[in-house]
Amino acid sequence: MKMALSPLALRILGCLLEKQVTTPEQYPLSLNAVVVACNQKSNREPVMNLTESEVQNELDRLVKAHLVTASSGFGQRVVKYEQRYCNSAFGNLQLSSTEVAVLTLLFLRGAQKPSELRTRSGRLHDFADVAEVEATRADLAERERVARLPREPGKRESRYTHQFGDESAAAEAETPLEDNSDLSARVAVLEQSLSALQALV
């Protein structure tokens, strides 16, 4: 199942997935709790400074997309939000606890090496060793849910990223190439003007 999610949607879903596992007694989360989780300074990359209205607007979009449920039951003073993105009766994405841990970390911290995923998994899942992370990563890669990035110079391990990001990011990455061609044309015009000025002098 192919999904294209914005960075903000990924941060919110990552937070809901994380808190569902690590603090089940406080889950589902209120709007305020979602904002605090999104702007958390630890275990987040990049650190965000989202406003309540930004988070609310994205939650509304996720509710409309049936990826999040908003509930306000009897005696409940505030609306509570829970993910239905995976392992729910409503979604097709069924993941093991190890897969949830890996994807949650990738949603919250971006591309990482297997050793980093193991170190940072904390209360999400207690990986026995890096080999277990690699096995989980391989299962996800086989279903096109994570991908290997080119190895950085001087690094022993490759980093991996999730495959649920907004495809518009790829379009944005191509923009500098278009800008370069525009720049080349402008430079050519300036050179011609300069030549004409030199001829006059």
- Please provide residue 163's backbone torsions phi and psi, each rounded to the nearest 5 degrees: -115, 30
* Residues pairing with 165 in the sheet: 5
- Containing H/E element for 170? helix 168-200
Q: Which two tokens stand for residue 8?
A: 């903000």
Helix/strand/coil for 175: helix
Dihedral sign (CA 99, 151, 5, 108): positive
Domain boundaries, the chain: 7-162, 170-201
- Please report, for residues 67, 91, 96, 121, the alpha-carbon distance to residue 124 in angstroms, rounded to integers and kept in the order given: 20, 21, 12, 5
On average, the pLDDT of the chain sits at 85
Query: What is the model's pTM?
Result: 0.79
Convert the pLDDT of each residue in 154-167 to its tens digit.
888 899 999 998 74
Q: Is pLDDT at 94 greater than 50 in this prediction?
A: yes
Is residue 15 within 8 Å of 39, Cβ to Cβ? no
What is the C-alpha separation between 198 and 201, in angstroms, rounded?
A: 5
Fold of the domain built from segment(s) 7-162:
Arc Repressor Mutant, subunit A (1.10.10)
Between 189 and 146, residue with greater pLDDT: 146
Residues 6 or more apart whose CB falls under 8 angstroms from that of 147 comprise 141, 160, 161, 163
Q: Is pLDDT at 186 greater than 80 in this prediction?
A: no
What is the C-alpha separation between 40 and 192, in angstroms, rounded?
A: 54
Distance of CA 190 to the CA centre of its chain: 43
